[in-house]
Amino acid sequence: MYKIATIPGDGTGPEVTDEALKVLEAVAKKDSIEYQLTHYDFGGDRYLKTGEVLPEGAVDELSQYNAIYLGAVGHPEVAPGILEKGLLLELRFQLDQYVNLRPVTLYPGVETPLVGKGPEDIDFVVVRENTEDMYCGIGGFVRKGTADEIATQTAIYTRKGCERIIRYAFEYTRKRDNPKGKRLTLVAKTNVLTFGHDLLWRTFQDVATEYSDVEADYNHVDACCMWMVKNPEYYDVIVTTNMFGDIITDLGAMIQGGMGVAAGGNINPELGGTSMFECMGGSAPKYTGQNVINPIAAIAAMAMLLDQGGHWSSANKITEAIKVVTGTKMKSQSAGRMGYTTSEIGDLVAELVR
């Protein structure tokens, strides 16, 4: 029995979650997967009512599930940072989801702003470290509010943290087995961040010796942004830090057709670890309740959830169905211009999966 906690969240989160669950139901029936869903109402509305983002004991409770499925968090009446920190980052940290896996895949029929590039060119995966760097919240103010104010925001890198993400990325590259060749590119800024990224670089070199079948490659982050636009076909798998990963994956989302198609997983790959899957688009308050938002990212996140749970062929069925729908049905990936409603897209994918 596969136990899944769902947090549909705010705005359009519940709408896209419904479509992902529709597709899960279809594939589970087809492949005889037994699963159990428990819904949690965490998000902006609950916070406005109760004053708390995650109630006492919630993290422990969530850690009992095989996986968490997250719709979206973000509420126009809640100050920025509260839900992000209190829910998303809290769960990533507390559940030690140290891998943020973000595939950059251009599905057939999806428009990319990169002229002349197609699905065969835009197909790589970013392995973003998810628990260290500037995200730890270490820092403070001195003489706050005065002309002499000092603020610090410390980036943390540990040998263990570097090693586990790099090892995961090498394993991932090995398994991905790209016909174009296995290449893992470390993306960092060793020419300026001469302490933290030196540790990262040395760790990368050490771990690379165990993976002679994978090309160990390096790009500075600024150059990486350039290559992602100019020659995205160069990349197979990228491993990078939390902050750089945050930034380059938004660029990645754009070249793969936008936030409506970009999915990600916050993964704790250890035995018994609880991973959390989400679409990268936010809660899109202005489209809430209109049945116009694109659920493809949410459905792709469900495929990632199944893949992480070892249901590879079911995950694959969903991905193939997505490709048919984007390639032969949808007019656009933008909300309101897809040629179908949110729920119709869900129906199309579910039908193909069956």
184 binds, among ligand IPM, Mn ion, none (CB under 5 to 8 A by kind): none
Helix crossing, 296-308 with 13-31: angle to 10°?
Answer: 50
Contact, 273 vs 95, CB < 8 A? yes
Size of the site for ligand IPM (CB under 6 A): 4
CB of 226 to ligand IPM, least distance (A): 21
User: Please, which of residues 201-260 interact with Mn ion by CB under 5 A?
Assistant: 246
CB of 249 to Mn ion, least distance (A): 6
216 binds, among Mn ion, ligand IPM, none (CB under 5 to 8 A by kind): none
CB of 110 to ligand IPM, least distance (A): 20
CB of 112 to ligand IPM, least distance (A): 20
Binding mask 244-283 for ligand IPM (x = CB under 6 A): --x-------------------------------------
CB of 91 to Mn ion, least distance (A): 15
Q: Partners of 72 in the beta sheet? A: 9
Q: How far, in Å, CA of 76 to CA of 11, rounded? A: 9
Residue of minimal Cβ distance to Mn ion: 246
Q: Which long-range contacts (CB under 8 A, 24 or more apart) does 328-335 make?
A: 328/109, 330/109, 330/296, 332/111, 333/110, 333/111, 333/257, 333/258, 333/260, 333/261, 333/294, 333/296, 334/258, 334/260, 334/294, 335/260, 335/284, 335/287, 335/292, 335/293, 335/294
Q: How far, in Å, CA of 215 to CA of 233, rounded? A: 15
Nearer to Mn ion, 165 or 216 (CB): 165
Residues 6+ apart with CB under 8 A from 182: 173, 174, 176, 213, 214, 215, 236
303 binds, among Mn ion, ligand IPM, none (CB under 5 to 8 A by kind): none
Residue of minimal Cβ distance to ligand IPM: 84
Nearer to Mn ion, 92 or 311 (CB): 92
Binding mask 55-94 for ligand IPM (x = CB under 6 A): -----------------------------x---xx-----
Tell me the three state secondary structure of residue 19.
helix
Nearer to Mn ion, 85 or 183 (CB): 85
Q: What is the dihedral of CA 183, 189, 190, 191, to 10 degrees?
A: 130
User: Please, which of residues 295-324 interact with ligand IPM by CB under 6 A?
Assistant: none
320 binds, among Mn ion, ligand IPM, none (CB under 5 to 8 A by kind): none
Binding mask 211-250 for ligand IPM (x = CB under 6 A): -----------------------------------x----
Residues 6+ apart with CB under 8 A from 61: none
Nearer to ligand IPM, 283 or 314 (CB): 283
Q: How far, in Å, CA of 100 to CA of 268, rounded? A: 9
Residues 6+ apart with CB under 8 A from 234: 227
Q: What count of other Cβ atoms lies within 10 Å of the Cβ of residue 318?
A: 27
Determine, following the binding rule CB under 5 A, whether residue 84 of this chain makes contact with Mn ion. Answer: no
CB of 246 to ligand IPM, least distance (A): 4
Q: How far, in Å, CA of 44 to CA of 332, rounded? A: 30
Residues that bind ligand IPM (CB under 6 A): 84, 88-89, 246
Residues that bind Mn ion (CB under 5 A): 246
